[in-house]
Amino acid sequence: MIHHVSKVIYPVFSLTLVISLTMVIALTGCSRDDQPKENDTVQEITLMTHDSFSASARVIEAFEKKNHAKVVFLKSGDAGEALNKAILSKNNPLADIFYGVDNTFLSRALSEDLFLSYASPQLAHVKDSLKLDPENRLVPVDYGDVCINYDRNWFREKNIDPPSSLEDLLAPGFKGLTVVENPATSSPGLAFLLTTVARFGEQGYLDFWQQLQNNDVLITSGWKEAYWGKFSAASEGSRPVVVSYASSPAAEVFYSKTPMETAPTGVVIDHGTAFRQIEFAGILKGTQKLALAKKLMDFLLSTQFQEDIPLQMFVFPSNKEAALPEVFTKHATITDDPAVIEFKIISEKRDLWIEQWTESML
Amino acid sequence: MDRIDVVRKGARPIPRLAVALVPLGFLGIFYFYPLGGIFHRSFFSGEIFSMATLLDLATSRRMAGIVWFTFWQAGISTLLTLLCALPCAYVMANFDFKAKKLIMTLATIPFVLPTIVVAAAFQALAGENGLVGGINLEHSIAMIFLAHVFYNFSVVLRITTGFWSFLRQEMGEAAAMLGATPGQVFFKVTLPLLRPAILASAILVFIFCFSSFGVILVLGGPGFSTVEVEIYRQAAHLFNLPGAAVLSLFQICFTFGMMWIYTTLQKRITTFIPQSQSHALKPVNTLKEKLMVASCVGFILVFCLSPMAALVVKSLVFDGSLSLAFYRELFQNTSGSLFYVSPVDAVENSLVFAAATLALAVVIGVCAASTIQRTGKRIGAFLDPIFMLPLSTSAVTLGFGIIITLDKPPLNLRTSVMLVPIAHTLVAFPFVVRSVLPAISSIPASLREAASLLGATPARVWFHVDLPIMARAITAGAVFAFTMSLGEFGATLFIARPEYSTMPVAIYRFLGQPGTMNYGQAMAVSSMLMLVTAVGFLFIERFRSFGDRGF
């Protein structure tokens, strides 16, 4: 009788084993079922991108209908993580097209030899100043400026002039007013660091930061923490100056629900105070659907897709013929005089600058 | 007795092996294989390997500082969590009062909230313009401790309460009869009996704080960095995979070492005859007892409920008046986006993933706990730490590993939805193990043997002896598996299928763009997440039909 005790566990756990196996099989089954079956007419094409990517359903449908295709989107973390995933899966690519390499990562992406060269006919309509890769492996799809945003109400109520230059942030009256993002963990943070390098030079930028430190600047890890946690125009926070995008005021108006004449926030973009972020897309080497991938690239650069970009991602279209929505023409700005550092130098010096910055600021 | 033990030890190896294969197979495929892949790629692939990077990392002052900080903040966070939670566990385990279940649920909800939302809630309460006002918590170490206690409070509370309310009153009463003071009863009888549960929850909290990521980044600010944060920085922003891999390896080795010491130190596992189901909780009578209950309830209300209430208020106030505008807006796809997910779908996705995680984690966790308990000290002391490793492994590292290893049929899972519950189970089943192991080990062999001698079939013995004793611990583990899955968004984002967005992913996306509607909707989804979590708990506890009303 007693030795039966040892058998106690056997039936029960064989049961649990069966249950867990069934689950795994069921789940695998699910994941297979939800991928639409490919047939002769509908071809699937996969676009890999970052979390912030968005597009209108009707615009993508238009492409799918015209080309008998189904576009599958893979969102793969933030811009850095997504590019890293593309690099790691180079030999067995996850997608046919990658959307969202910015100019700070451009060199890295090109040197990994991930992309096929494709000179889309649509490139004729793309602003020449945005084209950085002469071989057209990565072509510009959108751009925007990273710059200082300020809380208009706050400055009006306090009767203080809002900032108009980077140097203004160092004034005694601006003590404790500014919040910026850590360039090591945030892409607007990195863009702002590059702005200061362009503005004050490699020798002088750390001085600027030191003075900013003395003026009680607050550094957060990311844009969300700065904007939603500390910026007085958007949160319970007390700081009226934040590093954000030149299109943020347009988003404030678009997502305000109650109609607004003027945006609650203003921007500082003149005389090299804004950094231009350009996003690129390209066809991943190893694609099995080159013809369709080329069509999708043409489509991404076409006015139909480009005109959809502003209200979906709050950046500017690279196609100069794409018309801007009203909220953009009224409330979003773009500078003629951005801070410029050549992308090759950025990727050469990026880590060094971040490290120097970290050493002196944290 | 000796003869019986001999017979027991001679039990068939096959069933044991089958039970052991469940957790080991799962870990092998979804944890060790991807990690092995990424380590191999990082260390041995010529193109990115650079010895200089490794040396830099090992000798850097900054790294030493980060490692030291990671240790001590985790230690202090754990102590503070124990200090706050143990008195509450005493009250919860010993007294009967109204709304106890609700209070317990409230204490556990913080677990699912994204750190960015918690940061907003703290800011609303105690920031410079907050309700309490004037307390400057901006980016301080105090903020990190506060957040760690806020998140982990319920881990200690639930695991300890579940165990405590099973202790037999008679032992304490016997000691008291023999002349022991209440203090002596507590320190000489209750505490030693409770030790396994307290240590189990403390070790979980420590591992959690040790690998803390969101709290440090969001609430601590860039002035603080843990090993986990540094791995993310190295891997995702500096493209330094070897550096990230070295740090991940350090994390894994440290966790293994710590867990090994912990399991080895646990020399004697306390066994006791568990209380019958008619265990009566004390009613609250004397003034002292009333004070104790009131301060416990008060603490939980102020500490856990008030930040959550702040979020709900924010989701309901629009332009200075009460309104459902943000909730209504959730049902509209204002920008016509392809990636719009209706709140109904987000809730459904979250619940499906959470239910799958719960089922997988309970099966794998119970098998793992049984394996540890059955394999004897030496192998058990080795297996137990292994099962804890996923908790403290950097998600970025594991995610990259999955990309390069699980990329061929039959395991081409890189973009599969199935990866979501699998990733959630990896971090959820250690909770089940920690929660079930003290219970399973406390069952004296004589109890099962007695049942057998009285003629029970093996299945009946399991259902009437093992399961009732484990039920409460399984429920505690299941609740955590469920919450873990509901609140997780890193893996869900990383796994890249936008059509399966969960509630935390929706919150994160809303907060990605400026505008009051985005903020309001993020708060509305946060409130929904809390509600769904609470309803889920009540459902899980209703579902459990074996134990009693312990918590």
Convert the pLDDT of each residue in B419-456 to its tens digit: 899 999 999 999 899 888 878 877 777 888 888 898 88
Q: Flag whether pLDDT at B127 surpasses 50.
A: yes
More confident residue, A276 or B490: A276
Check CB contact under 8 Å for A255 and B400.
Answer: no
pLDDT band for position B119 (50/70/90)?
A: confident
Work out the average pLDDT over A221-232: 91
pLDDT band for position B12 (50/70/90)?
A: very low
Q: Flag whether pLDDT at A73 surpasses 90.
A: yes
Torsions phi, psi for A281 (to 5 deg): -130, 155
Mean pLDDT in chain B?
83
The CA–CA distances, whole Å, from A54 to B268, B382, B505 equal 58, 47, 14
Q: Flag whether pLDDT at B459 surpasses 80.
A: no
- Dist CA B65 CA A337 (whole Å): 41
Q: Flag whether pLDDT at B64 surpasses 70.
A: yes
**A269 to chain B, minimum CA–CA distance in Å?**
18
Neighbours of B214 (CB within 10 A): 20
pLDDT band for position A6 (50/70/90)?
A: very low
Work out the average pLDDT over B27-43: 91
Q: Residues of chain A with pLDDT > 90: what percent?
A: 73
Domains and CATH numbers, chain B: 14-32+52-314+342-543 (1.10.3720.10)
Work out the average pLDDT over B111-121: 85
The reply to whether A244 touches chain B by the CB within 8 Å rule is: yes
**According to the model, what pLDDT value does residue B363 have?**
93
Q: What is the DSSP string of B207-250?
A: HHHHT--HIIIIII-TT---HHHHHHIIIIIS--HHHHHHHHHH
- Dist CA A32 CA A336 (whole Å): 50
In sequence order, the 6+-apart residues with CB closer than 8 A to the CB of B131 are B124, B125, B310
More confident residue, A245 or B179: A245
Q: Flag whether pLDDT at B1 surpasses 50.
A: no
pLDDT band for position A14 (50/70/90)?
A: low
Q: Residues of chain B with pLDDT > 70: what percent?
A: 87
CA B518, B522, B524, B529: dihedral to nearest 10 degrees? Answer: 160
Q: Flag whether pLDDT at A11 surpasses 70.
A: no
Which of A34, A85, A94 to mutate against chain B (most B CBs within 10 Å)?
A85
Work out the average pLDDT over A267-275: 94
**According to the model, what pLDDT value does residue B4 have?**
45
Q: Which residues pair with A75 in a beta bridge?
A: A49
- Dist CA A9 CA B328 (whole Å): 52
Report pLDDT digits (tens) over B245-259.
889 999 999 999 988
Mean pLDDT in chain A?
89
**According to the model, what pLDDT value does residue B3 have?**
44
pLDDT band for position B514 (50/70/90)?
A: very high
- Dist CA B146 CA B132 (whole Å): 16
- Dist CA A254 CA A311 (whole Å): 8
Work out the average pLDDT over A135-139: 97
Q: Flag whether pLDDT at A9 surpasses 80.
A: no
Work out the average pLDDT over A31-51: 70
**According to the model, what pLDDT value does residue A12 have?**
45
Report pLDDT digits (tens) over B327-376.
999 999 888 899 898 999 999 999 999 999 999 999 999 999 988 888 87
**B360 to chain A, minimum CA–CA distance in Å?**
7
- Dist CA A52 CA A103 (whole Å): 16
Work out the average pLDDT over B165-184: 80
Check CB contact under 8 Å for A57 and B138.
Answer: no
Name the residue among A10, A225, A311 with its Cβ closest to that of B335.
Answer: A311
The interface residues of chain B toward chain A in range 119-178, judged by CB-CB distance below 8 A, are 119-120, 123-124, 127-130, 138-139
Q: Flag whether pLDDT at A211 surpasses 90.
A: yes
Report pLDDT digits (tens) over B368-416.
998 888 887 778 888 989 999 998 888 888 888 988 898 887 788 887 8
**According to the model, what pLDDT value does residue A32 have?**
40
Q: Flag whether pLDDT at B6 surpasses 50.
A: no
More confident residue, B74 or B431: B74
The reply to whether A314 touches chain B by the CB within 8 Å rule is: yes
Out of B74-83, B238-247, B255-264, the most confident range is B74-83
Name the residue among B452, B498, B514 with its Cβ closest to that of A248.
Answer: B514
Q: Is B68 exposed, middle or buried (0-12, 13-18, 19+ CB in 10 A)?
A: exposed
Cβ(B123)–Cβ(A229) under 8 Å? Answer: yes
Q: What is the DSSP string of B135-186?
A: ---TT-HHHHHHHHHHHHHHHHHHHHHHHHTTS-HHHHHHHHHTT--HHHII
The reply to whether B365 touches chain A by the CB within 8 Å rule is: no
Closest Cα partner for B525 from B496, B551, B504, B540?
Answer: B504
**A76 to chain B, minimum CA–CA distance in Å?**
5
**According to the model, what pLDDT value does residue B55 have?**
59
The interface residues of chain A toward chain B in range 38-97, judged by CB-CB distance below 8 A, are 48, 51-52, 54-58, 60, 73-78, 80-81, 84-85, 87-89, 92, 94
**According to the model, what pLDDT value does residue B13 have?**
42
**According to the model, what pLDDT value does residue B373 have?**
82
Cβ(A95)–Cβ(A74) under 8 Å? Answer: yes
Angle value at C-alpha B66, between B493 and B218, nearest 5 degrees: 40
Q: Is A198 exposed, middle or buried (0-12, 13-18, 19+ CB in 10 A)?
A: middle
The CA–CA distances, whole Å, from B210 to B111, B393, B451 equal 16, 10, 44
Q: Flag whether pLDDT at A236 surpasses 90.
A: no
Check CB contact under 8 Å for A77 and B138.
Answer: no
Closest Cα partner for B256 from B267, B264, B268?
Answer: B264
pTM attached to this predicted model? 0.87
Instruction: Provide, as residue numbers in chain A, all residues whose Cβ is less than 8 Å from the Cβ of B319.
Output: 258
Report pLDDT digits (tens) over B185-194.
888 888 888 8
Domains and CATH numbers, chain A: 43-143+277-327 (3.40.190.10), 144-275+335-361 (3.40.190.10)
**According to the model, what pLDDT value does residue B105 have?**
87
Lowest mean pLDDT among A283-292, B271-280, B306-315: B271-280
More confident residue, B108 or B466: B108
Which of A4, A18, A152, A265 to mutate against chain B (most B CBs within 10 Å)?
A4
More confident residue, B322 or A34: B322
**According to the model, what pLDDT value does residue B99 have?**
85
Residue A243, SS3 per DSSP: strand
Q: Residues of chain B with pLDDT > 90: what percent?
A: 32
**According to the model, what pLDDT value does residue B475 have?**
87
pLDDT band for position B218 (50/70/90)?
A: confident
**A222 to chain B, minimum CA–CA distance in Å?**
8
